[in-house]
Amino acid sequence: MLKGILNYAHYLLEEAIKKDELVIDATCGNGNDTLFLSTLVGEHGKVLAFDIQKEAIAATKQRIIANERTNVSLIHDSHENIAKYLPVHTNEKISGAIFNLGYLPKSDKKIITKPDSTIIAIDTLLNHLRKDGLIVIVVYHGHEGGKAEKEAILKYLFHLDQKQYSVLRYGFINQKNDPPFILAIQKKID
């Protein structure tokens, strides 16, 4: 059976991420993906969860505490600054990352992810991703500014070297109202 967008995003990450690894939730929102990643990497793995909104950090913190997870670092900052938070004293690579683009559900729809900061974050993650690591981007584009971000990211990903990366697009084409879709990038080389 075909998997829904979020189920497929999680399926892809399950295939790529192992216990005890470093992973990134680039837009932690309400904490669903952060909790999912925390469980995947286990108690000795590490999740760095980013968001620019205090409400998102608070909601994610609540979810993490309620589920007794201790392997998550919540970072109130833009995902474009991921490099500042990566361990520099080790050779530790990132095994997986997820983005949910757009705006925080049930929040101010004027606060959205932006093409420039998202592309900077993707580029940073690609440089720190291990071989066979995966970045999953859930593209919500049915809001003001969403189409511009979608087009900029597609253009950026289209030009990635196919010898170094495999890029997948997954989505349902017969749904109305600008349905979200997935972009997934797998690194082929170290």
**Would you state the pLDDT for residue 89?**
67
Tokens coding 152: 């900029």
Locate the DSSP E strands across 18-176.
22-25, 46-51, 72-76, 94-100, 129-139, 165-171
Structural domain including 135 reads: 5-187
* Percent of the chain as helix, strand, coil, to the nearest 5: 35, 25, 35
Q: For 151-164, what is each residue's pLDDT tens digit?
A: 999 999 999 999 99
Total structural domains within the chain? 1
- The tens-digit pLDDT sequence of the chain (190 residues) is 899 999 999 999 999 999 999 999 999 999 999 999 999 999 999 999 999 999 999 999 999 999 999 999 999 999 999 999 998 767 789 999 999 999 988 888 888 999 999 999 999 999 999 999 999 999 999 999 999 999 999 999 999 999 999 999 999 999 999 999 999 999 999 8
Which residues are within 8 A (CB) of 184 and not within 5 positions of it... i.e. 6 or more apart?
A: 9, 12, 134, 135, 136, 137, 167, 168, 170
Give the pTM. Answer: 0.96
- The string of DSSP codes covering 88-130 is SSS-PPEEEEEEE-SB-TTS-TT-B--HHHHHHHHHHHHHHEE
Instruction: Output the domain CATH number for residue 47.
Output: 3.40.50.150
Q: For 86-128, what is each residue's pLDDT tens digit?
A: 987 677 899 999 999 999 888 888 889 999 999 999 999 999 9
